[in-house]
Amino acid sequence: MTSAPTATVPDHRAGRWPRSFRLLYAAALVDGIGFYVSQLAVPVLAVTLLAASPGQVGLLGALSTAAFLLIGLPAGVWVDRLPHRAVLITADLARAALVASVPVAWWAGWLSIPQLYLVVLLTGVGTVFADVAAQSYLPELVGRSRLVAANSLMMSTNATMQIAGRGLGGLVVQTLTAPVAIVLDAVTFAVSGALLARIRSSAPRPLPSPAAGGFARQLSAGVRHVFDNPLLRPLALSTASINLTMQLTTTMLPVVFLRELGLGAAALGLFLGAGGVGALLGALSARPLAERIGHGRALWLPGLLVAPLGGLVALIDTGPMLWLAAFGWLALAWRTGIGNVIGVSLRQGATPDALLGRMNATFRFLLTGALTIGAVAAGLLGQYADVRTALVVGAAANALTWLPVFCSPLRTLRRPPVTN
């Protein structure tokens, strides 16, 4: 594993993306569809087939992201030391095998909640490396001048996959059962790995020099880069708080839909798909919005505008309130879609190549760690108060998540910095 992709210089003719990026994009597309199907199918399986309690559903959600807290930071050092393509392929194949064990165990008659816990935890380990490597790989494939355009394409596609994956997941779960839906996830991981293997390699990617110091020193350099940077620090705080508050809602939605409202998995998939529509609209509008009002305002102003609409999700019920809640969920996701494009581009632009893996790992540690905390909090609130309390707390806290950006130099930033 000493090689790197050939397409380090992007082809700008007629706006054409280099072949290596197209393969990365295709792999993300295939992988994402399966991921969103499984993201719906796993909690539905736990609730319907294994009679999981709200606390167990919360723990399941927490374990799916706990790996970012456990190994998120050191993963950045390892990713900076390894070829990004090799990391991505290994992560895909490992996750394919892990996910496939769930339907096999179900068909054999020995599937249990503890096995689900173990599978989602270990799959999360693979996701840690895949996410950090993919975001570190992107500048290498397209060049820094096209980061906003490339991230807009990736995020808008991801939002489309949320719509298709969750909608498809709801239908598959409803008609063919949750274990069959999880098979789809295993297949897509394998196909994604095969696509990434087609990226041709040539010269080795430069690795950290001995002057960079030992493991601990390299790890701390990535953390310091994020928290000492006046642009990255408020971005990390704001985005982590968004993740935490959204997770409070997302974790309890299967319980609300399936038990409290008596709606099926298909209805849950369609509701979550509305969030995908919002994220898609946000990703598509991020670039023109940032060019019009500036990147800084594009990070905080949408949060201020949609803050009141988040309360609609906490009031979800059958009838008209279901539609109003879906609109609120769409609005929250629209804001998140904008923030993903602008925020990731800002992070990549403000970080030198040698620190990309560690910067991305630090962000993923914070952002996905926030998901873990949100899932645990949702499970505790659902278990010892009620599921509605989790929704209310999530909506109220989400209304304040734009403040860290507003109270920082990011507030009026016109364009992200460009660092080589």
* Between residues 258 and 90, the one the model is more confident about: 90
Confidence band of 3 (pLDDT split at 50, 70, 90):
very low
DSSP 153-209: HHHHHHHHHHHHHHHHHHHHHHHH-HHHHHHHHHHHHHHHHHHHHTS-B-SPPPPPP
pLDDT (0 to 100) of residue 11: 42
pLDDT (0 to 100) of residue 205: 53
CA distance 227 to 220: 11
pLDDT (0 to 100) of residue 126: 92
| b/e sequence 285-308, b meaning 16+ C-beta within 10 Å | bbbebbeeebbbbbbbbbbeebbe
* Between residues 281 and 265, the one the model is more confident about: 281
Average pLDDT over residues 198-202: 73
Average pLDDT over residues 294-303: 92
Q: Is the pLDDT reported for residue 174 higher than 80?
A: no
Percentages helix, strand, coil for the chain (3-state, rounded to 5) are 80, 0, 15
**In the predicted model, what is the mean pLDDT of the chain?**
84
* Between residues 157 and 358, the one the model is more confident about: 358
C-alpha torsion angle, residues 147, 188, 96, 363 (rounded to 10): 20
CA distance 249 to 390: 6
pLDDT (0 to 100) of residue 34: 79
pLDDT (0 to 100) of residue 206: 56
**Tens digit of pLDDT for each residue in 34-53?**
777 787 788 888 888 888 88
* Between residues 206 and 287, the one the model is more confident about: 287
The alpha-carbon radius of gyration of the chain (Å, integer) is 20
CA torsion sign, 47 to 50 to 55 to 57?
A: negative
pLDDT (0 to 100) of residue 301: 94
**Tens digit of pLDDT for each residue in 231-249?**
999 999 999 999 999 999 9
pLDDT (0 to 100) of residue 1: 31
* Between residues 73 and 405, the one the model is more confident about: 405
Least confident of 57-66, 131-140, 166-175, 379-388: 166-175
Angle of CA points 365, 367, 373, to nearest 5°: 90
Q: Is the pLDDT reported for residue 306 higher than 80?
A: yes
CA distance 240 to 336: 11
Confidence band of 209 (pLDDT split at 50, 70, 90):
low
Taking CA atoms, 318 is separated from 258, 263, 267, 315, 403, in Å, by: 12, 9, 11, 10, 33
Asked if 23 contacts 108 with a C-beta cutoff of 8 angstroms, the reply is no
Least confident of 72-76, 135-139, 170-174, 245-249: 170-174
Confidence band of 4 (pLDDT split at 50, 70, 90):
very low
* Between residues 200 and 19, the one the model is more confident about: 19
Residue written as token pair 């008659």: 109
**Tens digit of pLDDT for each residue in 95-125?**
999 999 998 998 888 889 999 999 999 998 9
pLDDT (0 to 100) of residue 5: 35
Average pLDDT over residues 356-372: 85
In this structure, which topology does domain 13-202+214-412 adopt according to CATH? Growth Hormone; Chain: A; (1.20.1250)
Q: Is the pLDDT reported for residue 15 higher than 70?
A: no
pLDDT (0 to 100) of residue 166: 66
